[in-house]
C-alpha cells in the first residue's frame, strides 16, 4: 500500500453513485472534497463512520467541503446503506477497486487470522484545485468526522 501524499494531484475519476448515476471528482471544482474510503457498507465500523459524517454534514458544507464515500459495494447496496442509515451525502461504487488503487489504498489486509486484499480505511481531503491537501489514516471510526472538521476549522 502506497497512499497518495499531500501535494500530489488527486486522480480524476468517475464512479456510479447510489442511484446508478455517474459522479466525477471534477464535478466539484472550486470546493474541497473529502474522499473517504471504507471497506463495506452496513458493517459496524463503516456505519459508525458514515453516520458521524451524516450528523455533521452541514458543518462540512459551511466550510465549502463535499463528502464522497467510496467502497467496493454495488450501487444497489449503497442505495440500501443510504436508505437504512438516512445518509445525506454521495456514496460511490468502486467495484473493481480501480480508484482505490489509484489512491494507493488497495492492498493486503488481515482480519481474524485471514489475509486478503481490500480497501484500507483512509480519507483524503482534496483542495479546490484537485490537489491532496491532507491525508487522514489514523483515527477511530467514531471520531473520523470530528478529526476532519477540526482540521478544516484550523485552516
Q: Which of 15, 46, 125, 148 is catalytic?
A: 46
Active site residue 51: no
**DSSP collapsed to 3 states, 51-103:** HHHHHCHHHHHHCCEEEEEEECCCHHHHHHHHHHHCCCCEEEECCCCHHHHHC
Contact 144, 60 (CB under 8 A): no
Residues 6+ apart with CB under 8 A from 42: 77, 80, 81, 84, 85
All three cell numbers of 65: 467541503
Instruction: Name every residue whose Cβ is closer than 8 Å to that of residue 118 and which is 6 or more positions away in sequence.
Output: 39, 72, 106, 107, 109
Active site residues: 46
Amino acid at each position: 500500500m502506497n497512499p497518495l501524499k499531500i501535494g500530489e494531484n488527486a486522480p480524476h475519476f468517475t464512479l456510479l453513485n447510489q442511484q446508478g448515476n455517474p459522479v466525477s471528482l471534477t464535478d466539484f471544482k472550486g470546493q474541497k472534497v473529502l474522499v473517504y474510503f471504507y471497506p463495506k457498507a452496513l458493517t459496524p465500523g463503516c456505519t459508525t463512520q458514515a453516520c458521524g459524517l451524516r450528523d455533521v454534514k452541514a458543518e462540512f458544507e459551511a466550510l465549502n467541503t463535499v463528502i464522497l464515500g467510496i467502497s467496493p459495494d454495488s450501487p444497489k447496496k449503497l442505495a440500501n446503506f443510504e436508505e437504512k442509515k438516512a445518509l445525506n451525502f454521495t456514496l460511490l461504487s468502486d467495484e473493481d477497486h480501480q480508484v482505490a488503487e489509484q489512491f494507493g489504498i488497495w492492498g493486503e489486509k488481515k482480519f481474524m487470522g485471514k489475509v486478503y486484499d481490500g480497501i484500507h480505511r483512509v480519507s483524503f481531503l482534496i483542495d479546490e484545485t484537485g490537489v491532496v491537501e491532507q491525508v487522514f489514516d489514523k483515527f477511530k471510526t467514531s471520531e473520523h468526522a470530528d478529526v476532519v472538521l477540526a482540521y478544516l476549522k484550523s485552516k
